[in-house]
Chains A and B, each alone.
Chain A
């Protein structure tokens, strides 16, 4: 999937920041031109290196010697920046002169859960203005958790005449006005993907951006706007789809009714990926076959005609009686996202029973354990499962439990990635999964009640997570929850040798827990911890490793300013940010939020007043 590069690609690889890696060869390398013979060698090298695509391989190549460093810098076409503050835009653009594609990631992931105050940073502006001058031939941009303003989008649209692909994931700060400029000015646009962004306009200032695409045949291949809150001009959308023969991915927002969806699908029977919008009738009040409502049969015919569909999502206001319409395409589906669809096990069963080839399935816990059993019975090829809570509160009634987890583990042996929200869990179920699903690379279990123990035995969840790290030898990403003692972390430190990303919340007893992890997990790159009793001595036990990491986040732990200062002093290339909540005392002894990351750029100059850089 094209998008995998932008996702937190735990299952793939290539995470070492392009600019963070090979700079050991020194600065000022581009200055003196090498002697003639070397230049010949470099030309040869360049011709060879252009076939090297993985950032890791390229970083390695750049470390061989100066000549290789130069050649690699000349031939690198894709720039991956895992932390926008790890390197300055100027430095990145000076080293790599011929970049065509950039991936840029900003805020720490906990920003998604309101733990990072707004205006913290990760602004697109300095990057886009530097790149506007340095990379006039830029074609692709993927931004994740970046603050993007309409003005930035305008600068982008005006600066890159050959611009082709824009993906914005979990970004905010822009509105339909920015989208309109992109649509209008980027005449070669192939991809416009808006994924879980916050697209907000001032009241009454929504712009009809869909109408701004060129009136001639477009080169659009992918258009995704399911996160845009405002309705789009449907006639313009339909006309756009009709004049975009290359369109394969279309994801509409929830304002598009099922009748409108039919019209779009009729215009684009070649679609492979479809976001279905509301999947409810616009004539919701009217009975099915009267006047405005679409009949299930008609809808099914439309789906049957879309023979290329492999991925379905949307279903935001799904009316269950429309679900059978997707039966004709189920057998071809590799991805199905029902995570906004409130369907019961009964409603799910006839659909999922037909999805033999499903590899990715996202669903709401309204389907219950029974629904998951149906998944396990059919989807033998399942690689990724995400079960989201309908009611995301700690004391809501849960509908999925250890039963569902066991069923999945028994039916879906090829599972690689799981995200599972539940209200109760047992060690036995987690152990079973660890034994059945040995290919697991990502295991994220969220028991929604804080510090909740095994609901059968009353014991901590240590043994379950211990089994996961012991048995799943390919594990790279782990998120833990429930009642956990330091023992769980001892297991993680001892067995989780490949773990790169670890998320911890409300867990552990003492500094030992964090020490086990920092001393044991030598591949650890991203660590995010909240509300756990880890203090300064634990923090200091990781000094040997922090330069190898992308970031460490610790909030509501037991850190003091003194401990954080020591880290900052011992590791000068580490930026140590202490973030204050607005309503906090300034003399408060405890550090409420610590965010630290390696950086070649030193302290950033755009830090707001509530961020203190030690």
Chain B
């Protein structure tokens, strides 16, 4: 019911806009609106969304609110400077074959602008039929990574294994870790340069992206073997 009412309002406002200046060809009627509010905002804001689906949803929300001329419905603060955009799946349309090669080449450290290179790592989740690949350099903290992984594999939660995003220096507290392990939660682990499997969240973020070779989101019950190491570290630090 609600949605049809919103649509009706939508139609009304389009009717009123008929005399307005627009970019479409003359005589197009209702179907052509002037360039949507969403597109304008999109240009300037660089919305922070993880995949194209989200962008569609955002645009949807904004088009509706635009027709009601409600600027406040915009979910991002227009004043914030654009944060580095999280990747949209498959955009720009460069074959993953090529993307992978370029990232490997840049890892060889020949470039002056090392910060601009990408660090793609495979992400697997126990039980998922296929793997994903993410660019670790797109994120600046464990929190951002957690959000992104959550969106990718929506049925799992990192929980609060990382700090609350404060430079990754706080380590897991024992009770939270036990909650995670004992429950059926998933636990993110990674393989480091030495080939060892580590629990995500132990080391500072910068160190993590340098040493992480691949990610695996394990079932909590299987991560038991990793727990003692992390717990020892916790004990030593706290």
Contact = CB atoms under 8 A, between A and B. Distances in A.
Interface in B125-184: 128-130, 133, 151-155
A483 B82 CA distance: 19
B72 interface: no
B101 A340 contact: yes
B237 interface: no
B96 A556 contact: no
A510 B25 contact: no
A452 B85 CA distance: 14
B105 A391 contact: no
A316 B105 contact: yes
A520 B87 CA distance: 34
A393 B92 CA distance: 6
B31 interface: yes
A421 interface: yes
Interface in A556-605: 556, 581-583, 590, 592
Contacts, number: 140
Contacts of B128: 582
Interface residues of A, number: 57
A342 B111 contact: yes
Contact of B101 (A316, A453, A487): A316
Interface string B75-111: 0000000101101111111111111011001001011
Contacts of B52: 530-531, 555-556
A196 B101 CA distance: 11
Nearest to B33: A509
B92 A395 contact: no
A118 interface: yes
Contact of A451 (B39, B93, B99): B39
Interface residues of B, number: 52
Interface string A312-350: 000011000000000000000000000110100000000
B207 interface: no
20 contacts: A227-B97, A316-B101, A317-B110, A388-B94, A393-B87, A394-B91, A395-B82, A451-B42, A483-B43, A486-B32, A487-B24, A505-B91, A506-B91, A509-B33, A510-B31, A511-B31, A512-B32, A530-B52, A531-B55, A556-B52
Given A115-B89, A509-B32, 7 more contacts: A196-B97, A342-B110, A392-B102, A485-B24, A512-B31, A531-B52, A590-B56
Interface of A: 110, 112-115, 117-119, 170, 196, 198, 227, 316-317, 339-340, 342, 388-397, 421, 446, 448, 450-453, 460, 483, 485-487, 490, 503, 505-506, 509-512, 530-531, 533, 555-556, 581-583, 590, 592
Interface of B: 23-25, 28, 31-33, 35-36, 39, 42-43, 46, 52-53, 55-56, 59, 82, 84-85, 87-99, 101-102, 105, 108, 110-111, 116-118, 128-130, 133, 151-155
